[in-house]
Amino acid sequence: METIHTVEARALVELQKRDTALDALRARAADIPRKVKAAEAAFAGKKAEMLGAREAYLALQSRKKDLELRIAEAEEGIRKHQLQLNQVKDNSAFKALLAEIETDKAAKDELETGVLTLLDEIDRASGQDKALQAEVKKVEEAKNAEVAALQAAAVAVAAELAAAEGVRAAAAAAITPELVERYEAVRANRAGLAVVAVHEEPATGKLSCGGCHMAVTPQKAVDVKKPDTLTYCPDCRRLLYREKTLFGQG
């Protein structure tokens, strides 16, 4: 059957409008957990960045302590070798101790230079660490506020959805089951959109399907202009109606 003539045509159009609104509500409800997850992930990423900076800062501090320990060891070596200078009588041993002292002094100088370089790096790392801690705090506050708002929205949408589903169930129950069955069959195959208004070109009066946008045949154009009439689109098989005709506006 290519054309459906029924006084329930308008009720079916209204049912489609309710279902479209319900689909939008369900999409909003489904999108909320995704947004919460995205907010949590963004915060986790910033926190990981902060922890990475903190680890780098602590690693520099550890390297500095290690260099300071090695400097102390070099200073102890210098001290011991200087004491030994007063005890040796052999000239070659004396020269060997002097060489050891110079080696220790050179090592100490190099280590102290390393500490000075590290101090600059530590200052920069400390500044970055503090900046990221402050940034993470702000991001966490913003995330908590966003999640709280999303959770409140989820409760509101759930209540709105429950109310809309109740109204939709009552509207569907008032329509002949056979007509609802046809409607549901088309809706299932057309991404939830079973009933669409035709689009009418103001200049030419030509009609096209509001779903697939294909031109309506002359016979379909005649059918859709009849009162209380729905007709199948020959291309997408959606049910077509003319707004002005069906709702008594033209």
Q: Which domains does the chain have, with CATH numbers?
A: 21-173 (1.10.287.1490), 176-246 (no CATH)
The yes-or-no verdict on residue 123 having pLDDT over 90 is: yes
The Cα–Cα gap between 24 and 193 comes to: 12
**CA dist 115 → 14, 27, 103, 108, 165 (Å):** 78, 59, 18, 10, 71
Q: Do 228 and 245 meet the contact criterion of CB atoms below 8 Å apart?
A: no
Report the SS3 class of residue 199.
Answer: strand
The Cα–Cα gap between 32 and 166 comes to: 22
Q: Tens of pLDDT along 18-48?
A: 999 999 999 999 999 999 999 999 999 999 9
The yes-or-no verdict on residue 157 having pLDDT over 90 is: yes
The yes-or-no verdict on residue 250 having pLDDT over 60 is: no
What was the pLDDT predicted at 37? 97
- The string of DSSP letters for 115-149 reads HHHHHHHHHHHHHHHHHHHHHHHHHHHHHHHHHHH
What was the pLDDT predicted at 160? 97
Residue whose C-alpha is closest to residue 122's, from 61, 174, 68, 79: 61
The yes-or-no verdict on residue 128 having pLDDT over 50 is: yes
Q: What is the mean pLDDT of residues 98-103?
A: 90
